[in-house]
Structure 1
Amino acid sequence: MRLSGLEPTLDILCDGELPKILAGRYCLDRLLGAGGMGVVYRARDLLHEQFGDPDPYIALKMLGEAFDESPDASQLLYSEFALTRRLLHPNVLRPYTFEVDAVHRRTFITMELLRGSTLDKLLCERPLGLPWAELKTIAVPLLDAIAYAHERGVLHGDIKPSNVMLGEDGVRLFDFGLGLIEKGPLKSLPSLNRQRLNAWTPGYAAPELLEGGPLSAPADLYSLACLLYELACGKHPYQRLPSNQARDTGLERRLKAPRNLPRRCWVALREALAFDPARRRISATRLRDVWAGGFSWW
Structure 2
Amino acid sequence: MTIIAERFQKIMEIAPSQETAQLLQLLSDDYLDLPRAISSQQYIWQHKDLGFLGLKWAQGDMQRSFLEHEAQFIRARQHPVFPEFVDIKHHGKTSVLITRWFEGVSLAQLSKEKRAITFDWLALLEQSLVYCHQHGFNHGDIKPANILIGKDQVKLINFNNVIKHGECYQQQALHQNSGFASLEALSAEGVAKPQQDWYSLAVTLIASQQTHPAYMANQARFDTNSNACVPTKYLQIIRQEYKRVLKHA
Structure-1-length-normalised TM-score: 0.65
2:180 pairs with 1:204:
yes
Asked if 1 retains the 8 angstrom alpha-carbon contact of 2:11 and 2:24, the reply is no
Could you tell me which residue of structure 1 aligns to residue 202 of structure 2?
Answer: 225
Q: Measure, in 1, the Cα distance between the counterparts of 2:134 and 2:81.
A: 15
- Assess, with a 3 A threshold, how the Cα gap between structure 1 residues 155 and 105 changes in structure 2: closer, same or farther: same
Could you tell me which residue of structure 2 aligns to residue 14 of structure 1?
Answer: 15
Give 3-state SS (helix, strand or coil) of 2:158's partner.
Answer: coil
- Assess, with a 3 A threshold, how the Cα gap between structure 1 residues 93 and 19 changes in structure 2: closer, same or farther: same
2:89 pairs with 1:89:
no
**What amino acid maps onto 1:229 in structure 2?**
I
Could you tell me which residue of structure 2 aligns to residue 4 of structure 1?
Answer: none
Report the Cα offset of residue 56 of structure 1. 3.4
Unmatched 5+ residue regions in structure 2? 1-9
Could you tell me which residue of structure 2 aligns to residue 296 of structure 1?
Answer: none
Q: Measure, in 1, the Cα distance between the counterparts of 2:76 and 2:23.
A: 28
Deviates more, 1:269-278 or 1:167-176: 269-278
Q: Measure, in 1, the Cα distance between the counterparts of 2:90 and 2:243.
A: 39
**What amino acid maps onto 2:57 in structure 1?**
M
Could you tell me which residue of structure 2 aligns to residue 113 of structure 1?
Answer: 101
Report the Cα offset of residue 154 of structure 1. 2.2
State how 1:67-82 maps to structure 2 within 5 Å.
68-70=60-62, 73-82=63-72
Could you tell me which residue of structure 2 aligns to residue 286 of structure 1?
Answer: none
Give 3-state SS (helix, strand or coil) of 1:24's partner.
Answer: helix
Could you tell me which residue of structure 1 aligns to residue 241 of structure 2?
Answer: 275
Give 3-state SS (helix, strand or coil) of 1:62's partner.
Answer: strand
Q: CA-to-partner distance for each residue in 1:215-248, whole Å, 9 max, x for gaps? A: 43222111100112233x3321x1xx3xxxx3x4
2:81 pairs with 1:100:
no
Asked if 2 retains the 8 angstrom alpha-carbon contact of 1:76 and 1:192, the reply is no
Report the Cα offset of residue 118 of structure 1. 1.0
Could you tell me which residue of structure 1 aligns to residue 5 of structure 2?
Answer: none
- Assess, with a 3 A threshold, how the Cα gap between structure 1 residues 230 and 25 changes in structure 2: closer, same or farther: same
Asked if 2 retains the 8 angstrom alpha-carbon contact of 1:206 and 1:223, the reply is yes
Unmatched 5+ residue regions in structure 1? 1-8, 280-298
**What amino acid maps onto 1:40 in structure 2?**
Q
Which of residues 23, 47, 55 in structure 2 aligns to 1:60? 55
Q: Measure, in 1, the Cα distance between the counterparts of 2:25 and 2:171.
A: 29
Give 3-state SS (helix, strand or coil) of 2:42's partner.
Answer: strand
- Assess, with a 3 A threshold, how the Cα gap between structure 1 residues 175 and 254 changes in structure 2: closer, same or farther: closer
Could you tell me which residue of structure 1 aligns to residue 3 of structure 2?
Answer: none
Q: Measure, in 2, the Cα distance between the counterparts of 1:277 and 1:91.
A: 32
- Assess, with a 3 A threshold, how the Cα gap between structure 1 residues 234 and 178 changes in structure 2: closer, same or farther: same
- Assess, with a 3 A threshold, how the Cα gap between structure 1 residues 19 and 169 changes in structure 2: closer, same or farther: farther
Give 3-state SS (helix, strand or coil) of 1:19's partner.
Answer: helix
Asked if 1 retains the 8 angstrom alpha-carbon contact of 2:206 and 2:227, the reply is no
**What amino acid maps onto 2:95 in structure 1?**
T
Calculate the aligned-residue CA RMSD, in Å. 3.1
2:228 pairs with 1:260:
yes
Could you tell me which residue of structure 1 aligns to residue 159 of structure 2?
Answer: 176
Could you tell me which residue of structure 2 aligns to residue 155 of structure 1?
Answer: 138
Q: Measure, in 2, the Cα distance between the counterparts of 1:271 and 1:86.
A: 33
Q: Measure, in 2, the Cα distance between the counterparts of 1:216 and 1:203.
A: 18
Q: Measure, in 1, the Cα distance between the counterparts of 2:78 and 2:90.
A: 24
Q: Measure, in 1, the Cα distance between the counterparts of 2:196 and 2:90.
A: 33
Deviates more, 1:15-24 or 1:114-123: 15-24
Report the Cα offset of residue 23 of structure 1. 7.5
Structure-2-length-normalised TM-score: 0.77
Identity %: 20
Q: Measure, in 2, the Cα distance between the counterparts of 1:276 and 1:256.
A: 13
Give 3-state SS (helix, strand or coil) of 2:21's partner.
Answer: coil
Report the Cα offset of residue 95 of structure 1. 1.2
Q: Measure, in 2, the Cα distance between the counterparts of 1:31 and 1:206.
A: 32
Asked if 2 retains the 8 angstrom alpha-carbon contact of 1:29 and 1:41, the reply is yes
Higher relative contact order (Cα pairs below 8 Å, separated by 6+ residues): 1
- Assess, with a 3 A threshold, how the Cα gap between structure 1 residues 56 and 216 changes in structure 2: closer, same or farther: same
